[in-house]
Amino acid sequence: MFSDFAKALGQLGDGRFMRVMLLGIALAAALLTGAYAGLLWVIETFTPGSINIPFVGPVGGLDTLLSWGSVLLMIVLSIFLMIPVASAFTGLFLEDVAQAVEDRHYPGLPPVARQRFGDVAIDTANFIGLLLALNTVALLLYPFAGPFSPLIFWGMNGYLLGREYFTLVATRRLGRDGARAMRKAYGLRIWAAGVLMAAPLSIPLINLAVPVLGVATFTHMFHRLSRQ
């Protein structure tokens, strides 16, 4: 597992790796920006400019206060959701990363038919929904988990990243049924590799490379397990 990660890390400067990483970050930033714009619209549309407080009178500036509060809310949410969402978007460009790994490390493999964009988009949308839902629930649990919060974050996202990336990589060569069977056979190893990918998610800047490194690592892992 660690050798798979080391090989992926050694190829991080590949042009195709950098392109996918930047696209994933840009799409994730656009999604979060759109969500914030929608939140501001709701605040400005449905929040009165002032409210009447008994014995005090009208108090204004409520919409401004909520707007500033929304800024702080989005900063906190972006810390927890930016990287998982960027990871999900990377699935749209999986072919480029996996193909770059195979071109360098596994030459001579038979070509694979590119997956239909519609199928990839549906899988990615489902993955984004699952990531957002579970990480939102986890946000509510972190205050009660205390020092165990990082373990919840790593374990949950490790499972999700491992399950999704390995399935996507294996489907290229084995089809959906074959990928599902192989994932079940090596489930614990895949989860452990996913945790290895999830651990750097809480480290600023380094976490931006995690989606691409994850796809590359699981590509190496797939070919290593296939030989077994």
**Mean pLDDT of all residues in 163-179:** 87
- pTM above the 0.75 mark? no
- Hey, where are the domains in the chain? 2-19+82-227
184: pLDDT strictly greater than 70 = yes
- What pLDDT, on the 0 to 100 scale, is given for residue 61? 47
The pLDDT score that the predictor gives to residue 43 is: 61
60 pLDDT band, cuts 50/70/90, is very low
**Choice between 223 and 204, residue whose per-residue pLDDT is larger:** 223
What is the pLDDT confidence band of residue 199, given thresholds at 50, 70 and 90?
confident
User: Which has more pLDDT, 99 or 121?
Assistant: 99
- Could you report the per-residue pLDDT of 7-41, keeping only the tens digit for each? 888 888 888 888 887 877 777 777 777 776 776 67
More confident position, 208 or 136 = 136
Residue 105: pLDDT band (50, 70, 90) is very high
Q: What is the pLDDT of residues 61-82, one digit of tens each?
A: 445 545 555 556 666 665 566 6
pLDDT band at residue 58, thresholds of 50, 70 and 90?
very low
Question: Is it the case that residue 51 has pLDDT exceeding 60?
Answer: no
Q: Give the model's pLDDT for residue 219.
A: 92
Cβ pair 168, 162 in contact under 8 A: no
Residue 54 pLDDT exceeds 70: no
Mean pLDDT across the stretch 201-214? 73
> 161-195 b/e with 16+ CB inside 10 Å = b?
bbbbbbbbbbbbbbeeeebeebbeebeeebbebbb
